Amino acid sequence: MSLLIFLDQADGHIKKSSLEALSYGSKVAELMNTSAEAVVLGNVTDDLAALGNYGVKKIHTIKNDSLNHLDAQVYTKLVAEVAKSVGATVIIFSNNFSGKAIAPRLSVRLKAGLVSGAVALPDLSNGFVVKKNVFSGKAFANVSINTDIKIIALNPNSYSITTTSNTAEVAEFGATVDTPKIQVTATDKPEGEIPLSEAELVVSGGRGLKGPQNWALVTDLAKALGAATACSRPVADEGWRPHHEHVGQTGLAIAPNLYIAIGISGAIQHLAGVNRSKVIVVINKDPEAPFFKAADYGIVGDAFEVVPKITEAVKKLKGL
């Protein structure tokens, strides 16, 4: 019996959401009195042995150029092979793009119960009960997994990373890698931007900013804070900002430590993508804007007056 954690990598680096999954999985293994092992696919340049700091004992690697990009079917088959080989009874993913693609497929392949969107450690006092977000983060459900093999996909930014000072054993796992059915021929990445899905600080703009010509308001504050930028859906639909910045029910769901919403009304479809943020700051000239009900801090005022003052204050504080 063991516990297996899937590690997600991009450009050879382990993603922050996977470090959360590592800390979470290692704690679950401790509660189950078993050991935590992990699997990573593709060529990774990070020091994998150092990931022992997050509590994992052994890391299985399958190095192969064709695994540098996610192919859900190929990945699922390999993770299943590793899981069977180590006798994993619990498998942990981050509930990010890769986790959402692989975990359900793995669940079918291993006939394993899956809870996606987990937000807390499982309760093992009476079976195996996992707390998860439901209704776009408006409520929680406690779900009991009753299968022999259990899969949990942990919501990003819902479990704190903890470190110790251990070293993990790293071992190449011998497996036949199928030829992926899809091939990534080129990737086009926005240069120098902080990836929104991994960002701890996010500054977001809505239709209240009137047009793309005013976006320096958002980007200047984001730059001063070291934050990623986001926007509401109409802003992306109107082409003021790229679609990969659109957050909400039909866009990205994010959970940063700080979400600053400028000139966004706070429609439920928008809140569905941001209401797991740890702290929400709303800047809106309408005191009745629904977003204020979800805000930790609110400023009623004209964004064109308020935001430059905040940016200046941040720059002064940081000596920029």
Ligand X SMILES: Cc1cc2nc3c(=O)[nH]c(=O)nc-3n(C[C@H](O)[C@H](O)[C@H](O)COP(=O)(O)OP(=O)(O)OC[C@H]3O[C@@H](n4cnc5c(N)ncnc54)[C@H](O)[C@@H]3O)c2cc1C
- Is residue 69 within 8 A of residue 97, CB to CB? The reply is no
Nearer to ligand X, 140 or 304 (CB): 304
Nearer to ligand X, 46 or 302 (CB): 302
C-beta neighbour count of 186 within 10 angstroms: 4
Surface-to-core class of residue 239, CB atoms within 10 Å of its CB (0-12 exposed, 13-18 middle, 19+ buried): exposed
Residue 277 interacts with ligand X (CB under 6 A)? no
Give CA–CA dist 225/255, Å, rounded. Answer: 17
Residue 122 interacts with ligand X (CB under 6 A)? no
Strand partners, 6: 39
Residue 207 interacts with ligand X (CB under 6 A)? yes
Nearer to ligand X, 132 or 270 (CB): 270
Residue 203 interacts with ligand X (CB under 6 A)? no
Six token digits for residue 8 = 């997600």
Residue 194 interacts with ligand X (CB under 6 A)? no
Residue 241 interacts with ligand X (CB under 6 A)? no
C-beta neighbour count of 209 within 10 angstroms: 24
- Exactly one of 5, 270, 282, 311 binds ligand X (CB under 6 A); that residue is 270
Could you tell me the sign of the dihedral formed by the alpha carbons of 220, 225, 231, 232, in that order? Answer: negative
CA 263 to chain centre: 25
- Exactly one of 119, 264, 281, 282 binds ligand X (CB under 6 A); that residue is 264
Nearer to ligand X, 16 or 246 (CB): 246
Six token digits for residue 59 = 């890391």
Residue 298 interacts with ligand X (CB under 6 A)? no
- Exactly one of 63, 223, 285, 315 binds ligand X (CB under 6 A); that residue is 285
Residue 132 interacts with ligand X (CB under 6 A)? no
Nearer to ligand X, 27 or 100 (CB): 100
| Beta carbon of residue 8, minimum distance to ligand X (angstroms, whole number) | 24
Nearer to ligand X, 219 or 249 (CB): 249
Instruction: Write the DSSP string, 233-248.
Output: HHHHHTTSS-GGGBBS
Give CA–CA dist 44/60, Å, rounded. Answer: 12
List residues near ligand X by CB under 6 A.
206-208, 232-235, 248-251, 263-265, 267, 269-270, 273, 283-286, 289, 302-304
